[in-house]
Structure 1
Amino acid sequence: MTVDDSLSRGIGPVAMTVLPQAAADDDERAAAHWSGQLATFGLLEAAERHFRPAAEEGDLTAVKCLVWLARQDGREREAHSWLERAAGAGDAWAMYELGVSLPRPEGLEEAQRWFRRAAEAGHALAMNDLAALLARAGRREEAKDWYLRAAEAGVTTAMNNLAIQHVLGGDRAEAGRWFERAARAGHVDAMANLGRLRLEAGEEREAASWLGAAARAGHQGAAGLLAELPGAAEAAGEAGLP
């Protein structure tokens, strides 16, 4: 049985059906899994032959499938070339991936351009990463705007980052609101930051609860702060989250 024949049975038909769906939906976990399955069963070359004609004709889903297949084979330059094609066709995920893939620090300026294009096209993670570059450059107000957009789109890291910007700007009430929103969504750094904020406000019981939650999730800084609070470790373990 040839490799091409194997696409008609076993893992082949499943992967060849699900990979395009995952690529079209920008479901990175699924795309990595199914392209990995094709690699494991020796079907990468046959899969590429299958998707390449449509990709050459400009089919974005096929192009994105080829990105994942090239990555599985360690062909990053080829993956980058397909990403550029998808980004040029207006795909926000590809724009974001190009920004992520550029070398640091020499590629930061170009990365920012790609993040901005992706963010303006609605890519939430690009909004957060663009904001981080802007904040690093001292453009805090613009950074806050992009962090806010990413946070409102549900990116918990952006919620935490936005809260940090509010702390730096002196608005601790707004910082607490965003730290808590991120913490309740499971962001461990936000739990620790909220605990620290509550501790500085003298709200030791609530501080202990959040520091305890972060410490149990493996945050060493939170564990250290918690250890300095007399009786707080026991209180944190008993109280649960506020």
Structure 2
Amino acid sequence: MNLEASLRERAALDDSAAMVELAQWLLVRGRRSEAQQWLRNAAAAGDLVGMTHLGARLAQEGDLHGAKSWLERAAEAGQATAMVSLGMVRVDIAAGRHGNLRTHLLPRSGPVHDRKTRHWWRRAAEAGDPLGMFLWSVVCARRNRPDDSLRWREAAAECRDPAVLRAIGDFCRMHNVDDAEPWYDRAVSADGDPIERSTAAARLAELLPDDEAERRLRDAATSVGAYGRGVLGEWLERRGQVAEAEECYRAAAEQGSHRAMNNLAAILLDRAETGAAERWFRLAADDGFAEAMSNLAAVHLRRGDQQSAAFWLIRAVGAENDVAWPALRQMLTGEGLDLLSDAVAGDTHQMALAGTWLARSAMTAEAEPWLRRAAAAGDPDGMDSLGFMLSQRPGGGTEAEAWLGKAVDAGSVNACCEFGVFRERQQRYAEAEELYARAARAGHVLGMTNLASLLEQRDELTEAEHWYRQAADHDHPRAMSNLGRLLELRADHGQAEHWFLRAARTGDADAMHNLGAMYGRRGDEQLARLWYVKAAKAGSDIAKAKITGRF
């Protein structure tokens, strides 16, 4: 089982730590909406890290008051990172800004006037948070406490987390409180997240003359690995050194960098090496890199393959690639486009319907992102459709069970029936019967039929007939055929024939076979043969065997 599948299985079972980890996995691939919903789920479950990350995401999107609410809960529970972010949000609210925690929000000059902001940053510093230490050192400096400022800054400098060191560099660069270069340099040299280290290398290069920037980026490419080579490739490509950029991209791509795969493919496409470009786009797209999905669709459009282009554009839209949607609008019409349009607008129920539409169109890979987003948002139909789709997938049983159970708890009648089928496969018949009964009492026709089938197996024929008849009155083929069989056992041949014929007209192979058997018992071999042949053509193996043996 791959990492994503493992995280999803655990998240579906209400493991809040897995929800947060899954959200981070999705964010790296640009799938913001689903990531945020998983953070909401983790936060609602009381996970402090989930609350903190959700607060940060909301602040980045401009919802400062929503961010403040979650960050306050985490900070008051002792989460130091939340204390830092809460202070930033409070500064932003006071300044009337819309929010972006990545730019680090202290004013360019003067003290921080908000007492609570100072309180939270001091608490974060005292709790050992490196960014909190740095921000508190800035507050101390602006309040004319140079000794305290130096002490806290030196404590922050001992940090070895590249994300924090990069963030301090960003703050220094934006607010002119210190030289950003050494902080970026420390981030590049630190152990840890290669993406953060590569980002720091790129920021560092922006501060330096070209010759020094190139030297630093080459050092980073050696020390950081694939992502560092990718950053060097982008720097070289911007300066027109395309051949050397290609070498960097290729090395990074071969080490698994999706961004490098995409960039390498773009260079190859410009050289009309379409086959090689398509291969790299596909490798990145298959692992969820949304920009590569959109680019792969463009390759298919160039060769006139609209079906394949639509396939990848739908996946790109599901992965929240902004470029893909206008292209997709030009290609699709009708119900599918309407559903996707509403889903893109953020209607979670429409996401569920869009995913169901795609699944019914045999586009399960494209359906899955929509269904997951709807399910994570709590939509019962999304949970049900996702659970059913996973139940058909090898190895998907545990996660399918979790989602179907949630859908049942959320009131989905259809999920009662789907979960009943799941339980019946596990030979947990009592649970299956209870679920079928819930669906049947709510008017679900397949639930009626499946309940009747279980009752028939227990020889409770009167009750079974009742539910078969209820479903047959709604023209359910299997119910009509099975009702006919029960009536024939009671020697009510006229009514049995009536229901067999009604079911046979729908194309039901079992009903056709049952008619053949009925006519055979009456001695009408010609009619029997006619219906056995029809049943065999409709897929009945027993009818095929009878034809072979009898005629």
C-alpha spacing 1:27/1:170, structure 2 compared with 1 (3 Å): farther
Aligned residue runs from structure 1 range 10-29, under 5 A: 10-12=313-315, 17=339, 23-24=352-353
Residue 196 of structure 1, CA deviation? 1.6
Residue of structure 1 in register with 2:469 after alignment: 148
C-alpha spacing 1:62/1:29, structure 2 compared with 1 (3 Å): closer
Aligned residue runs from structure 1 range 115-126, under 5 A: 115-126=436-447
Point out the more displaced range, 16-25 or 203-212: 16-25
Matched, 1:36 2:36: no
C-alpha spacing 1:228/1:65, structure 2 compared with 1 (3 Å): closer
Aligned residue runs from structure 1 range 1-242, under 5 A: 2-4=29-31, 6=290, 9=294, 10-12=313-315, 17=339, 23-24=352-353, 30=359, 33-37=362-366, 44=369, 48=372, 50-51=373-374, 54-55=377-378, 59-64=379-384, 66-67=386-387, 74-102=395-423, 106-226=427-547
Q: Is residue 315–residue 365 contact of structure 2 (8 Å, CA) maintained in 1?
A: no
Residue 118 of structure 1, CA deviation? 0.7
> Secondary structure of the equivalent of 1:174?
helix
Task: Give, in whole Å, the separation in 1 of the partners of 2:390 and 2:541.
Answer: 38
> Secondary structure of the equivalent of 1:116?
helix
C-alpha spacing 1:112/1:69, structure 2 compared with 1 (3 Å): closer
Residue 85 of structure 1, CA deviation? 1.9
Point out the more displaced range, 94-103 or 7-16: 7-16
Deviations 1:214-240 (A, max 9, x none): 2334434434544676xxx6xxxxxxx
Q: Is residue 70–residue 79 contact of structure 1 (8 Å, CA) maintained in 2?
A: yes
Point out the more displaced range, 20-29 or 67-76: 20-29
Residue 139 of structure 1, CA deviation? 1.1
**Paired positions, count:** 221
C-alpha spacing 1:62/1:181, structure 2 compared with 1 (3 Å): closer
Residue 144 of structure 1, CA deviation? 0.6
Task: Give, in whole Å, the separation in 2 of the partners of 1:105 and 1:161.
Answer: 23
Q: Is residue 433–residue 454 contact of structure 2 (8 Å, CA) maintained in 1?
A: yes
Residue 168 of structure 1, CA deviation? 1.3
Q: Is residue 452–residue 467 contact of structure 2 (8 Å, CA) maintained in 1?
A: yes
Give the aligned CA root-mean-square deviation in angstroms: 3.5
Task: Give, in whole Å, the separation in 2 of the partners of 1:183 and 1:211.
Answer: 12
Q: Is residue 352–residue 374 contact of structure 2 (8 Å, CA) maintained in 1?
A: no
TM-score by length of 2: 0.35
Letter in 1 for 2:387: V
Letter in 2 for 1:172: H
Task: Give, in whole Å, the separation in 2 of the partners of 1:161 and 1:26.
Answer: 33
Deviations 1:45-64 (A, max 9, x none): x974x435522xxx323433
TM-score by length of 1: 0.74
Letter in 2 for 1:6: A
Higher relative contact order (CA 8 A, sep 6+): 1
Over the matched positions of the two proteins, sequence identity in percent amounts to 32
Residue 152 of structure 1, CA deviation? 1.8
Point out the more displaced range, 8-17 or 191-200: 8-17
C-alpha spacing 1:33/1:208, structure 2 compared with 1 (3 Å): closer
Letter in 2 for 1:203: D
Residue 203 of structure 1, CA deviation? 2.9
Point out the more displaced range, 104-113 or 191-200: 104-113
Residue 12 of structure 1, CA deviation? 2.8
Residue of structure 2 in register with 1:236 after alignment: none
